[in-house]
Chain A
Amino acid sequence: MTALGTFVLALTGILLMAMLDTLVYQESLFRALMGLLPDSTRGPLAMIIAALLIALWADLKQTGWMKKAMARLSGWKNAWKP
């Protein structure tokens, strides 16, 4: 649920900032969103993506998916051994 939590917070955060922009500039939510996203260049977007990837990694670690995958890989490797 770490990645889901991060995703929801990121999405609602962007919506909140757009809503505040609608109040400041007296424009529609869509226009505020369009103004917000392209304006913030690659930096913030890269940080949000990095945050999501880190959360996803934490989820994978928590579920033990990595361990299972590694075990399966080593199983395949052992199958080829004489």
Chain B
Amino acid sequence: MTEEIIIAGFGGQGVLSMGKILAYSGVMQDMEVSWMPSYGPEMRGGTANVTVILSSERISSPIINQYDTAIILNQQSMDKFESMVKPGGTLLYDPNGITRHPERKDINIYKVEASMEASNMGLTKIFNMIVLGSFIKIKPIVQIENVIKGLKKSLPERYHHMIPDNEDAIRKGMEVSVPVQLLS
């Protein structure tokens, strides 16, 4: 089993940390993992993306241009990565700020109103955990218990008091994604 994932959005949305928590969740399940960020001046405001690979086997290339799943959180990323989803693959996106919705007919498409749900919960910072929850519901590769363990591993201890909020957000995310297009 190998799952090749791209997570892409604005810098500051928590794209890289979401990928890191996902990678740690894989480690907790004894999987092979790689986490390859775009790095550079996109730290704040620009676009940021990270490739996460979870596999039961040794990972060959951490650098890829075809993905099983694309998690897309802004329009620039939609324009860049929609075409890079493998046929039969999955695209998960937050429609907030998206002006051109995905048009592919050969992939599964889901949407999650993560930014809306996050502001409803009064916790805009846990936006990325809502998205992560939706992903692990759609692709149950990692168990939620391992995601929580991954969260503990990747967050510095001074933020551990925020873990319950993050867990709530992940569980919320598992409930609120909506299929837009499902391949039969």
A and B co-occur in one complex? no
| A contacts, CB < 8 Å to B | none
| B contacts, CB < 8 Å to A | none
